Amino acid sequence: MGRHSEWRRIAKRQRRRKIRVQQAQLRDSILEDSDLQAQQQILDNLIEEQIILSNKIENEKWLQAEKNYMDNWEKLQQYKERLLQEKMEQKIKLTLEWEAEKERRKIEEEKLKQIKEENMKKHQEFLENLQKFMAGDSCEPPKELNYVCDTRPGAEMCTFFSKTATCRFGDQCSRNHQYPSISNVLLAKNFYAHFGLDNMFENNEYDADIMLEYDENETYKEFEEFFCDVLTEFEKFGKIVQFKVCKNYEKHLRGNTYIEYADLRCAVAAYRFLNSRWYGGRQLSLQFCNIRSWRNAICGLQAKQRCHKGRSCNFLHIFRNPNNLFSLQKLPEENYIPRRRTPPRSWRWSESPETEIPKDTKSSRESNDEEKKNRERRRSHKRKLRKD
Ligand SMILES: [Zn+2]
Ligand SMILES: [Zn+2]
C-alpha cells in the first residue's frame, strides 16, 4: 500500500504538472492568438484606410474629370450656339444685302433702259435730221453733228494743227488740237503713196539711187493718175473748191490729201460713202478738218523753192495739180472745170483691200484692159489659194 500511494502521489503530481503545462501552453497560445489578431486587425484597418483613401482619391479624380467634361461640354455648346448665331446673322446679312443688290440692279436696269430709249430716240431724231439735211430740206446740219472736240481743253492752241489740221506730235501734243465734228474740208491722212515718197523717207542713204530710177516726171505722172482717180470719185458728191496733196516726207504729212467742198452736206455725203473704202490697196481714213487759210497751211517758200527744210518742212509742200487746178492764184469759180483728160480707173475703188497693179505707159484703154486682166488673174489666184 505504501508504494501504491507513493505512485499515486507521484502520478497525481505529474498529472498536475502536465495540467499546469497544458494550461500554460494554452494560455500562451491564447496570448499568441490575441496578438496575431490584434496585428491582423491593425493590418486590416490599414488596408481599409488605404482603400478608403484610394477610393476617395479616385472619386475626387472622377468628380474632377466629370467637372472638366461638363465644363468642356458647356463650352462646346456655347461655341456651337455662337456659331449658329453668327451663321444666322450672316444669313440675315446676306439676305438683306441680296435684297438691296436686287433693288439696286432693278433701278440700274431701269436707268439703263431709260438711257437706251433716250439714246434710241435721239439717234432716230439725229437720223431724221441728217436725212433732212442731206436731202436739202434743212439748211442747218443736225446739232448733234455740230460740235468741236478738244484734245486738251483750256491749253494753248497748237499753231501747226490750227493751220494744217495735223501735228508731228499727234494727240500727244502738249497744246490743244480742235477737231470739228463736221466741216467742208475732208482730210485723208497718208492717202497718197508712191515709191519715191516712201523710200526717200525710209532709206535716206539710197535715196539718190532710188530717185535716179524714179525721176520727177515719173513721180508726177503717178500723181496725175492719183489726182484724176481720186478727184473724180470725190466730185460725185458735189462741187470741190480745193484739192491738195502733200509731198512732204514727214510722217504726219506724207501723202495727206485735202478735199474742200463748196457745200457742207456734200462733204458729209462723201465722208459717209467713202470713209473706210479702199483705193489701190490702201484704206481711206477720212476726217473732217478746219483749214481757215490755205495760204497759211501751205509753205510759202516751197513754190519759190527756197524752203531750207525741204520736204521735212512742217507746213504743206504740195504737188502742183494738173492744169494748175485749184491754184491759190485762181478764183474758186475758175478752178471748177470738169476734167476728163484721162478716163478714171474707178475699179481701183473698192469695199475691200486690193493690191495695186503695176502700171504701164500704154494708151489708157490698153492700160485699163491689161490692168483688168491682171486683176482677174490675181483674183483667180486668190480663189485658188483659198481652195487649197
Ligand atoms: Zn500740236
Ligand atoms: Zn516749207
77: pLDDT strictly greater than 80 = yes
Closest ligand to 168 CA? 1
Task: Give the Cα separation of 296 and 299 in Å (integer).
Answer: 7
3-state secondary structure of 304: coil
Which ligand ends up closest to the CA of 157? Answer: 1
Centre of ligand 1 to C-alpha 90, Å, is 58
**Chain center to CA of 201:** 34
Distance 22 CA to ligand 2 centre (A): 162
125 Cα to the center of ligand 2, angstroms: 46
Question: Poorest-confidence range of 132-146, 168-182, 356-370?
Answer: 356-370
Torsion on CA atoms 69, 71, 76, 79, rounded to nearest 10: -170
State the chain's mean pLDDT as an integer.
82
Q: Which value does ipTM take for this structure?
A: 0.96
Q: Residue 223 burial (CB < 10 Å; 0-12/13-18/19+)?
A: buried
Residue 286 to residues 201, 246, 259, 280, 317, Cα–Cα distance (Å): 23, 15, 10, 16, 20
Cell of 317: 509742200
Ligand 2 centroid to residue 211 C-alpha, Å:
21
Q: From 344, 241, 356, select the one nearest 291 (Cα to Cα).
A: 241
Ligand nearest to the CA of 318: 2
What is the distance in A from the centroid of ligand 2 to the CA of 255? Answer: 15
Cα 327 to ligand 2 centre (Å): 17
pLDDT at 124: 83
In the beta sheet, which residues pair with residue 349? 279
pLDDT, one tens digit per residue, over 106-145 is 999 999 999 889 888 887 887 787 788 888 777 778 777 7
pLDDT of residue 383: 45
pLDDT tens for each residue of 220-263: 888 999 999 999 999 999 999 999 999 888 899 999 999 999 99
Gap between the Cα atoms of 258 and 243, Å rounded? 6
Question: Residue 299 and residue 246: Cα distance in Å, rounded?
Answer: 11
Distance 294 CA to ligand 1 centre (A): 18
The pLDDT of residue 333 = 53
Q: What is the Å distance from ligand 1's center to 255 Cα?
A: 19
Render pLDDT for 274-333 as a digit per residue (tens, 0 to 9). 988 998 888 899 999 999 999 999 998 987 878 888 777 999 999 999 988 898 876 555
- Among 284, 274, 195, which residue's Cα sits nearest to residue 240? 274
In the chain, pLDDT over 70 holds for what percent of residues? 80
Q: Which of 144-153, 158-167, 178-187 has the lowest mean pLDDT?
A: 144-153
Pairwise pLDDT comparison (185 vs 202), residue with the higher score: 185
The pLDDT, as a whole number, for residue 336 is 52
Q: Which ligand is nearest to the CA of 313?
A: 2
